[in-house]
Amino acid sequence: MSIPTVKLNSGYDMPVVGYGTWPLKGRRATDAVLAAIGSGYRLIDTAAAYDNEEAVGAAVRECGLPREELFVTTKLRGADQGLGSTRRGLEGSLERLGLDYVDLYLIHWPMPAVGRFAESYAEMADLQREGLIRSLGVSNFLPEHIETVTTETGIRPALDQLQVSPSHSRPELVADVQRDGIVVQAWSPLERNTGVLDHPFVTAIAQRLGVTGAQVVLRWLLQRDITVVPHSGDPGRQRANADLFGFELTAQDMAAVADLDTGAPVKQDPATWEEF
Ligand SMILES: NC(=O)c1ccc[n+]([C@@H]2O[C@H](COP(=O)([O-])OP(=O)(O)OC[C@H]3O[C@@H](n4cnc5c(N)ncnc54)[C@H](OP(=O)(O)O)[C@@H]3O)[C@@H](O)[C@H]2O)c1
């Protein structure tokens, strides 16, 4: 199975579907990443905060593919934000991953009250110039946070990883971020299987198209030009979650899934959420 790519504003190509590794750790994480790579995933999403970078790095070495065929994303944890500590944060991640560079480095949360995300991003720009990071990105950033880092460095992030799913479709936020040529990547796209995959609107479309509810939801995101990093510990579900390119949702299907938006704010509000 071959997963299409999107070109980032850094010039690098990124697969539109990646494998999310939270909450796996240790050998289970290594085996799950190996299975995902075996199913065709080339983008692996990890984070310093997930405590599984060593396990992901082991899979990257064991899978037998050349490094340049894989796209590894990791994230700067809150505790490492700041001048000097951002460099140490990335160096620690590279050491645990056993890699010379990461394809994409994200600031995990902006934590605006801490006031260090802009200087962290500026230090990431230095690390990019040194070749340790290919593309600069952010996660859970609102447009005002993106504006701040872009003004600070003159480098617009390539990507913003945001919580987006049918219950939280966030159309205005997604449009604002995409308008500036920044790729949106959805985390928890399947809402951790808490009900949306079995909603009658979703299962009706799934039955008609002969796919699963998860495939409907992921395809709905892709057709909004939102890239995705679903997680599954199960090799069969991993494979199905990446098999999204042999069917299409109609405009009516797109509207039916969009109708599932609860309108409720996300629990982890990027304006206030802190995670160290
Ligand atoms: N940037 C951030 O702040 C942030 C925050 C959270 C997550 N993330 C990233 O985003 C990734 C994905 O998010 P997530 O793990 O929170 O949630 P998710 O991908 O929405 O859901 C994962 C859950 O859904 C189940 N699942 C997966 N495929 C399924 C299918 N086809 N049918 C039924 N159930 C299915 C999985 O169970 P099984 O394992 O049993 O299949 C797992 O419990 C994470 O792994 C992480 O890499 C980033």
Nearest Cα neighbor of 16 from 225, 232, 156 is: 225
* Substitution site in 43, 52, 188, 202 for ligand 1 pocket (most atoms within 8 Å of beta carbon): 188
Q: Is there a contact between 249 and 219 (Cβ–Cβ < 8 Å)?
A: yes
The residues near 263 (Cβ < 8 Å, ≥ 6 apart) are none
Q: What atom of ligand 1 comes closest to residue 75's alpha carbon?
A: 1
List the residue whose alpha carbon is closest to atom 35 of ligand 1: 193
Alpha carbon of 231 to ligand 1 centroid (Å): 4
Give the tens place of pLDDT for each residue, 156-173. Answer: 999 999 999 999 999 999
- Which pLDDT score, from 0 to 100, does residue 44 have? 98
Output the pLDDT for position 259.
Answer: 97
Measured between its terminal Cα atoms, the distance across the chain in Å is: 37
21 Cα to the center of ligand 1, angstroms: 8
- Is the C-beta atom of 170 inside 6 A of ligand 1? no
- pLDDT for 1 equals 80
The catalytically annotated residue of 41, 50, 105, 121 is 50
Q: Which of 184, 232, 266, 275 is the best mutation target for the ligand 1 pocket, counting ligand atoms within 8 Å of the beta carbon and taking the most?
A: 232
Domains of the chain, start order:
7-192+226-231 (3.20.20.100)
Query: Is the CB of residue 72 less than 8 Å from the CB of residue 46?
Result: yes
pLDDT at 31: 98
Q: Give the per-residue pLDDT at 179.
A: 96
Separation CA 202–CA 228 (nearest Å): 18
Please work out whether the CB of residue 73 comes within 6 Å of at least one atom of ligand 1.
Answer: no
133 phi/psi in degrees, rounded to 5: -130, 135
Give me the average pLDDT of each 10-residue run along the chain (276 residues): 96 98 98 98 98 98 98 98 98 98 98 98 98 98 98 97 98 97 98 96 98 98 98 97 98 98 94 95
Task: Scan for tokens 């620690």, then name that residue.
Answer: 92
191 touches ligand 1 (CB under 6 Å) = yes
